[in-house]
Structure formats: C-alpha cells, structure tokens
Structure 1
Amino acid sequence: MIVNATEFKTRAGKYLEIVDKEEVIITRNGKEVAKLIPIKNQGTPNADFLYGLLADKEKKDVTAEQIRDERIKEK
C-alpha cells in the first residue's frame, strides 16, 4: 500500500494495523521516502545480497569488515 506522509501522520494507528497484512510505503511530494514493514517479517535481505559481493568465498560465515573491505576494493 502506498500512502502520502500527511495521510500517514493523520491515521498512523490505522497503518500500524494494516502493516500486519502488507507493507506500507510512505511518500512525500510524490517520492517514496519510507517503508513500514511488520517486525515479525524482518530479515536480512540486504545482508544476503552483500554476501554475493564476496564471490570467492565458499562459506557465508563472513564478517561485516570483510564485506566492507571487499566493497572498497571494487571502487
């Protein structure tokens, strides 16, 4: 669901109930600025993506520092 910031501020409680069923994207001036997701669905999709940056690593037991160092080397 997409909602503008003014509507979200006015009816925040409503959207806190809706977020149990679907993500809520909040816009300001027509641009997406935030995403409200249920805490029970939080995960690590971004971290999973970062593991792909270390293609030469066979295992995923990689530290944040290793990921950061690999990112720096790519630049």
Structure 2
Amino acid sequence: MLITASELKANIGRYLDEIIQDDVYITRNGKIVAKLSSATQDKQAILDSLVGIAADNPLTLEEARAERLARQ
C-alpha cells in the first residue's frame, strides 16, 4: 500500500492495523521515504531464511563450530 505522509498523520490508527496484513510505504513529494511493516512478519521472514539455510546444509553442531572457528 502506498500513502502520503499527510494521509498517515491523519489516519495513523488505520495504518497501524493495515500493516498486520501488508507493508505500508509512505511518500513525501512523490518519493517513497519510509516503510511500515509488521515486526512479526519480519521475524517470520528471518526464521524462514534461517531454516532454509539449515535445511540445505546438514552440519552437526561440532562441524559448524569447527567451521566457524576456522574462519576467525
């Protein structure tokens, strides 16, 4: 959803409810200046990306530790 900064100021409650479903992009002078997004959705996206990484690389805990230490 794309809204102006003035629209956000006038209806902040509505847009706080809206970000549960979809990101809200705020514009000023026709340019996107900010993005409102749900903290819960961001955490879920991070978790999904980590689970995907782990699924593709089945290291044991000891192997992962040794690999990490080797990089230091």
What's the Cα RMSD here? 2.3
Residue in 2 that maps onto 1:39: 39
TM-score for the superposition, normalised by structure 1: 0.57
Q: Higher helix fraction: Structure 1 or Structure 2?
A: 2
Deviation at 1:42, TM superposition (A): 1.5
Q: Aligned to 1:22, what secondary structure does the other structure show?
A: coil
Aligned residue pair count: 49
Residue in 2 that maps onto 1:13: 13
Q: Percent identity?
A: 38
Q: Displaced runs of 4+ in structure 1, greater than 3 A? A: none
Gaps of 5+ in 1: 49-58, 62-75
Gaps of 5+ in 2: 50-63
